[in-house]
């Protein structure tokens, strides 16, 4: 059974640019959640996708957007990057919108 | 916002039991409490979850008070590889859209 994978591992972008991060969910899981983790902080919930529809959103501006595909993989897009967007971005998948979820290794984004 | 309270840091001697407390006084009656840990710069790892009965798996034990307002995660024989930040999560009314606090940084000392 393949776990949650994320790409790329690391990324460096310039302020104002746009970025796309990718996540492949664990086999059989139809729900994907995205989190942002700044240095020294716990992960912060960005949004969740269930069967290709957004199923909940945390306190993040609209320039954070997402997509879930029919195979339940997902993308996180961030427009107009700001320095404060520098963080570890984590993806987690679960069987449904309830219960334990399993995290990928994360993508480290640095905005300069 | 996170709905749990945990001590910011703890030490534990290698081979001894590590007992990590969590206060979740506002947890809903039908919500589970979840525990995760995060080893430096890796994705959080699921440990265990419980509703009202004590739970045990190959990683840890979870003791939940009768009033469900607090719980304790027990690592029975801590090893150096258990050094991590441990998060207790009360997902009340948010499904598994988890709101993490700052967790407890556990250091296992040789």
Give the N- to C-terminal CA distance of chain B in Å, as an integer: 36
From chain B, pick out residues whose CB is under 8 angstroms from the CB of A108: 41
A75 pLDDT exceeds 90?
yes
Residue in B6, B32, B13 with CA at minimum distance from that of residue B75: B13
Are the beta carbons of B96 and A101 separated by less than 8 Å?
Answer: yes
Q: Which of B60, B58, B57 is nearest to B73 (CA)?
A: B60
- Give me the residue from B36, B43, B95 closest to A105, CB to CB: B43
**Closest-approach residue (CA) in chain A for B98:** A45
- Measure the CA dihedral B64/A97/A81/A24, to 10°: 110
Looking at the complex, does the CB of residue B94 fall below 8 Å from at least one CB of chain A?
yes
Mean pLDDT of chain A: 94
Share of residues in chain A with pLDDT > 90 (%): 88
Q: Would you say residue B1 has pLDDT above 70?
A: no
Residue of B42, B62, B96, B104 to mutate, testing the A interface (most A Cβ within 10 Å of its Cβ): B96
CA–CA distances in Å: residue B28 to residues A100, B87, B94? 17, 18, 11
Q: What pLDDT does A1 receive?
A: 56
Residue B40 confidence (pLDDT): 87
Scanning B3-62 for CB atoms below 8 A from A yields 32, 34, 36, 41-46, 49
Kindly state the average pLDDT of the residues B7-23.
97
* Cα–Cα dist A79/B89, whole Å: 30
**pLDDT for B82-105, tens place per residue?**
999 999 998 877 778 888 888 999
């Amino acid at each position: 059974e393949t776990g949650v994978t994320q790409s790329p591992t690391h990324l460096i972008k310039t302020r104002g640019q746009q970025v796309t991060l990718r996540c492949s969910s664990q086999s059989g899981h139809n729900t994907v959640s995205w989190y942002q983790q700044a240095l020294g902080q716990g992960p912060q919930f960005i949004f969740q996708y269930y069967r290709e529809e957004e199923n909940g959103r945390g306190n993040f501006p609209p320039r954070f957007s997402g997509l879930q595909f029919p195979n339940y993989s997902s993308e996180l897009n961030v427009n107009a990057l700001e320095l404060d967007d520098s963080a570890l971005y984590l993806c987690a998948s679960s069987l449904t919108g309830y219960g334990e979820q399993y995290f990928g290794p994360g993508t480290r984004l640095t905005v300069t | 916002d996170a709905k749990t309270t945990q001590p910011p840091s703890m030490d534990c001697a290698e081979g001894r039991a590590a007992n990590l407390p969590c206060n979740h006084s506002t947890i809903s009656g039908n919500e589970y409490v979840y525990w995760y840990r995060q080893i430096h710069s890796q994705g959080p790892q699921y440990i265990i979850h419980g509703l009202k009965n004590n739970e045990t798996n190959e990683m840890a034990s979870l003791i939940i008070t009768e009033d469900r307002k607090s719980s304790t995660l027990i690592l029975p024989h801590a090893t150096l590889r258990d050094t991590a930040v441990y998060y207790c999560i009360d997902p009340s009314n948010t499904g598994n859209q988890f709101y993490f606090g700052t967790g407890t940084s556990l250091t296992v000392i040789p």
